[in-house]
Amino acid sequence: MKVTAALPAGVSALFFEAADRLRRLEADLAATLEGAGFSEVVLPILDYLEPYDPLLTPAGRSELYRFIDRDGEQLALRADFTTLLARLLAPRLQSLELPLRFFYRGDVVRYQEDRPGRGRESYQMGAELLGVPGTQAEHEMFRLCLELALRSGLEGLRVVMGFAGALDRPLLDAAARGAVPEELAAAVERRERATARAAGPALLEVVEHGAPSDPEALGEDAATALRGLEALSTGMQRLFPKIGFTIDLAEFARFTRAPELGAARGRRSYYDGLLFRVYAAAGADPIAGGGRYDQLFRSLGAEVPAVGFYLAIDRILARGGGSEAAP
């Protein structure tokens, strides 16, 4: 058999200087997290598939690399750290002292269509904060994520902000008039003006401007959340003047909360509050992101406030980060 250096689609190897850049950046970010009071956890790359069935949307399930082991058990490669951590911690929370601050690092593997700059294997670091109620945890984790993104050495960072369930009311109203919610949510996410215009003025404004001029068009609860998001954006802009901040509810159109809109939900359907993504200049995929996910623990029988974020280390390196971490 002829031996080649080829690898499966979507995976890569790092040699020499590239490996050194990754380890130096990783060490700097880990030291920053430890300095902020976060402890490291090490997680397996293999797990049983069955515990995740109630947590997976069809889109999320399609990303999993699944197989049967020699004992007949259905297993899956790690595609997401947050769900794995929640599954392991939910039964143990009563014996643990809150709040919990921890971080992790390692590969996630997801089946995705080939696209420039997007692999099927991704090296991530992330952090979670459990047990701090209200907006305090969101603000702490959002700020920490941005500090780490700046430490990566990338310039031209921009943040897109939103919250889960922001468009539930307009989507439900459109569904009552015959629209298919999952198709409409996907069209809003793709910024399809004609489809949004036919669905109503609020969704058209979201597509064109990121949010409606009248927050009340989203319903009372979502309007209150949008005003809070605007205040958070203003505060973060003061703290991080080198980063651009945008509120864009269209980007998170498929992060729904209403049970009637379950079919419209995106791959990471467990988010139920603040959402944010961090992009580098000229990058189509985020280099970081996160948000609130209390509902994930609730679905596993545990009640705890939960906020987290991830950094896609491989994307940061691909965009020129990591060569000189910020002091």
Q: Does residue 1 carry a pLDDT above 70? A: no
Asked if residue 145 belongs to a domain, the reply is yes
Distance of CA 96 to the CA centre of its chain: 26
Look at 8 and 236; give whichever has higher pLDDT.
236
Indicate if the pLDDT at residue 117 is higher than 60. Answer: no
**What is the tens place of the pLDDT at every residue in 180-196?**
999 999 999 999 999 99
Domain residues for the domain of 94 are: 16-154+307-327
> Percent of the chain at pLDDT above 90?
79
pLDDT value, residue 42: 97
How high is the pLDDT of residue 5? 82
Give the pLDDT of residue 115.
Answer: 61
- For 93-114, the pLDDT digits (tens) are 999 999 999 999 999 999 877 6
**pLDDT for 116:** 58
Assign 291 to helix, strand or coil: strand
What 8-state DSSP symbol labels residue 38? P
Evaluate whether residue 6 is within a structural domain: no
What is the mean pLDDT of the segment spanning 268-274?
86
Residue count of the chain:
327
Structural domain contains residue 285: no
pLDDT over 50 at 327, yes or no: no
The pLDDT score that the predictor gives to residue 41 is: 98
Decide if 319 is inside a domain: yes
- Predicted model pTM: 0.94
Q: Is residue 250 part of a domain?
A: yes
Pick from 107-121, 153-167, 309-323: least confident: 107-121
User: Same structural domain for residues 112 and 173?
Assistant: no
Q: What is the CATH number of the domain that holds 147?
A: 3.30.930.10
201 and 162: one domain?
Answer: yes
Residue 284 forms part of a structural domain: no
**Residue 259's pLDDT band (cuts 50, 70, 90):** confident
pLDDT at 113: 72
Give the model confidence (pLDDT) of 155-174 as tens digits.
899 999 999 999 999 999 99
In a domain, 2, yes or no: no
Cα angle 99, 104, 108 (rounded to 5 degrees) comes to 130
pLDDT at residue 270, rounded to an integer = 87
> Average pLDDT, stretch 55-80?
89
Amino acid 112: pLDDT: 77
Question: Residues 216, 165: one domain?
Answer: yes
42 burial type by CB count under 10 A (0-12 exposed, 13-18 middle, 19+ buried): exposed
Instruction: Report the number of distinct structural domains present in the chain.
Output: 2
Q: What mean pLDDT do residues 290-313 have?
A: 96
Name the amino acid, one letter, at 241: P
Q: What is the pLDDT of residue 237?
A: 97
| CB-count exposure of residue 97 (10 Å: 0-12, 13-18, 19+) | exposed
| 98 and 120 belong to one structural domain | yes
- Over 90: is that where the pLDDT of 56 sits? no
- Give the CA radius of gyration of the chain: 20
pLDDT of residue 312: 96
3-state secondary structure 99-137: CEEEEEEEEEECCCCCECCECCEEEEEEEEEECCCCHHH
**Is residue 302 assigned to a domain?**
no
**pLDDT at site 326:** 47
